[in-house]
Structure 1
Amino acid sequence: MLPFSLVRPLLFQFDPERAHHLTFGSLKLANQAGLLNMLMPSAVADPVNVMGIEFPNRVGLAAGLDKDAAYINELGQMGFGFLEVGTVTPKPQPGNPQPRLFRLPKAHAIINRMGFNNQGVDNLIANVKRSRYPGVLGINIGKNAVTPVEDAASDYLRALEAVYPYATYITVNISSPNTKNLRDLQGGDSLDQLLATLKARQLQLAEEHGQYKPMALKIAPDLDEEQIDAIAQRLTHYRFDGVIATNTTIDKTAVAHLPHGNEQGGLSGTPVLEKSTMVIKRLYASLGEAIPIIGVGGISNGVHAVEKIRAGAKLVQIYTGLIYQGPELVTECAATIAANCKGVVQKR
């Protein structure tokens, strides 16, 4: 396999969105030619059962990289134990104006204000149905920007109903900083109403389809301990199946001195590593083994992945690290977890 370190300087000559499309266009061509499997590392076998699902290993792709499930055949050959696609909304939407994606190479970070740009849930489902990806597939759902936040539950319901037959699990994203007022759903009566509504519909859908699909909540890293505890209590009360910690941060303090460091949007990558891990620790202190945590935020090597597991996560996800390190990061993280986390009992 050609080391990604040789390819990255060329890709980084392009605008980030352009580089994204070039990369995945090339991967698709390589896959169609039957070459991709030879170029990608073998998946690490480290099976684990989480949320009632058997995962081949504990390293997944975080939502955001493949919003429309257009590249799951290609991503599925990179050694991931699972993929999460989306965030998808009921109706197509263009997202925020460009430029909206910024690299901060000195910090191994990215700032994005994409705004849930996607082609809508019907298009995502068509892509999933056409794909040959046989693995664990999470589908991350959100609300359309034009839908008032007080009506958010209706969008989440529509998306949940649409993706339910095609997802291995569903993630409810209420933590993106790039959709106006979305993070208001993370607390108070708004969160109670949303979780109660979605849980009731999930149980109905399980009966209708004859199969129970787990549902997780994705939260922000910019929550204080009281807010984290309150979310943990609600997750327990409404019997959610998992929680993903965390999304991007709006705190740019660590990168304010860098070019693009003050761009609006969510910051991901190394600067969010410690913040997201602290949220995982606090969640685990409240939830224990009752509700599994998926850890994401700032993972750029195997040691970081192990830190998330030892903090309380059962699985991890990567995104920004993949942009900087390439597919080799997937195998490194999965192998390091397999070697260091057998029988890990997290400290509460």
Structure 2
Amino acid sequence: MLWSILRSILFRLEPEHAHDLAVWALQRVGVAGARRRRPAPIPALAVRCLGLDFDGPIGLAAGFDKGDVALPGLFALGFSHVEIGTITPRPQPGNERPRLFRLPEHRALVNRMGFNNEGAEACARRLAALPPGARLGPVGLNVGKNKTTPNEEAASDYLACIDRLHPYADYLVVNISSPNTPGLRQLQERDQLDRLLRACTARLAERAPGKPLLVKLAPDLSPEALDDAVDVAIAAGVAGIVATNTTLSRAGVERHPCAKEAGGLSGAPLERLSTEVVRRCYRRAAGRVPIVGVGGVMSAEDAYAKIRAGASLVQVYTGLIYGGPGFVPRVHAGLARLLARDGFASVAEAVGADHREGASA
């Protein structure tokens, strides 16, 4: 009830102002406060993935912390891991405001933020200045190219981010799937993707051998293009696939006044599409790399659907906006009940369960 009241107040604010206020509040949570507030982990939810230990499967997706580095506050909310970004080599303001829109009736958002961030140098300084113990779980860095960098030179931007940020990242993610940087999604095409990812994996292997590099894909690829992207990414040496980014589709929200706004749609309307992409990525990867499922997770049931479809980890953003500070503990508690109901002793046992049951049916 308290969150319902607070949300009604926050939702009277312009969406980006509300976001800035939330980040400001989270930045004021110290390490000691985060440890006190952080919910106790549920042993059955522990995950070993990417060579890292996670005390649960639910993490924060890129897009919320744009290099502000509010890590203690975010971990206090119960996230098992936090992905910062997207970070570009040089600072950029992003697209003109307004650029973030709520669709409350659909529990959705449309955004065209445009990688607004203060650049890799500022992010690196903030990460370096974190007090001891601020990292209560793995921290990922999601990196992209500046808007003014042509695609032919995109690799230089990604490599610059890897060079500056890798010391502070437990894993890195190459973001080539945002719909809000003109031409960015063309980097998912086979030849461009192969060149870019081979350059990135080689650079990270040189700078930090063994550190995982993942790639984040769009939900709007055709099935054939998605299969190609997974094959190319694995051949290039990525450690995992993040599926998915936001969608350009407006299916299910066509009549909402904000549906006409340019940008990517996230939240409940994306859930089914993103889960199907997770399912296809898992099937195509065939155990070669893990899948991180993102998109439309608004409940424990949604997270469980992604795990059963093939996700080893699940990330949320819009679910937090609508679900509030208690969202992650509720999802983790619900996941524990769903695993127990179906006879799974761990998250790992449930990953891809739909494929095994489908094969045996």
Percent of paired sites with the same residue: 43
Q: 1:175 is matched with which residue: 167, 177, 184? A: 177
In structure 2, the CA distance between the partners of 1:311 and 1:93, relative to structure 1 (3 Å rule), is same
- Give the CA RMSD over aligned residues: 1.7
Q: 1:165 is matched with which residue: 150, 164, 167? A: 167
Output the amino acid matched with 2:16.
E
Shift of 1:47: 1.5
Q: Does 1:259 align with 2:265?
A: no
Shift of 1:340: 3.0
Please name the residue that 2:128 is paired with.
129
More divergent stretch after superposition (326-335 vs 150-159): 326-335
Shift of 1:213: 1.0
Q: 1:148 is matched with which residue: 125, 147, 150? A: 150
More divergent stretch after superposition (227-236 vs 261-270): 227-236
- Show CA shifts across 1:113-149 (max 9, x none): 0000000001111111222322200000000001001
Q: Which aligned segments of 4 or more residues in structure 1 are displaced greater than 6 angstroms? A: none
The answer on whether the counterparts of 1:140 and 1:173 sit within 8 Å (CA) in structure 2 is yes
Please name the residue that 1:112 is paired with.
111
- Show CA shifts across 1:26-62 (max 9, x none): 3334x25976666664444422110111111110000
Unmatched 5+ residue regions in structure 2? 340-345, 356-361
The answer on whether the counterparts of 1:42 and 1:78 sit within 8 Å (CA) in structure 2 is no
The answer on whether the counterparts of 2:102 and 2:110 sit within 8 Å (CA) in structure 1 is yes
Equivalent-residue separation in structure 2 for 1:3 and 1:88 (angstroms): 34
Q: 1:344 is matched with which residue: 335, 346, 350? A: 350
TM-score normalized with structure 2 length: 0.91
Equivalent-residue separation in structure 2 for 1:33 and 1:168 (angstroms): 19
The answer on whether the counterparts of 1:69 and 1:128 sit within 8 Å (CA) in structure 2 is no
Equivalent-residue separation in structure 1 for 2:203 and 2:42 (angstroms): 36
- Show CA shifts across 1:166-205 (max 9, x none): 1000000000000010000001211111011111112111
SS in 1 for 2:73: helix
Please name the residue that 1:11 is paired with.
10
Equivalent-residue separation in structure 2 for 1:34 and 1:205 (angstroms): 33
TM-score normalized with structure 1 length: 0.94
Equivalent-residue separation in structure 1 for 2:303 and 2:195 (angstroms): 34
The answer on whether the counterparts of 1:73 and 1:131 sit within 8 Å (CA) in structure 2 is no
Output the amino acid matched with 2:53.
E
Q: 1:287 is matched with which residue: 273, 279, 285? A: 285
SS in 2 for 1:308: helix
Equivalent-residue separation in structure 1 for 2:150 and 2:351 (angstroms): 43
Q: 1:185 is matched with which residue: 178, 184, 187? A: 187
SS in 2 for 1:9: helix
How many residues of Structure 1 are paired with residues of Structure 2 in the alignment?
342
Please name the residue that 2:331 is paired with.
333
SS in 1 for 2:18: helix
SS in 2 for 1:333: helix
Output the amino acid matched with 1:236.
I
The answer on whether the counterparts of 1:68 and 1:86 sit within 8 Å (CA) in structure 2 is yes
Equivalent-residue separation in structure 1 for 2:238 and 2:27 (angstroms): 36
Please name the residue that 1:201 is paired with.
203
The answer on whether the counterparts of 1:43 and 1:331 sit within 8 Å (CA) in structure 2 is no
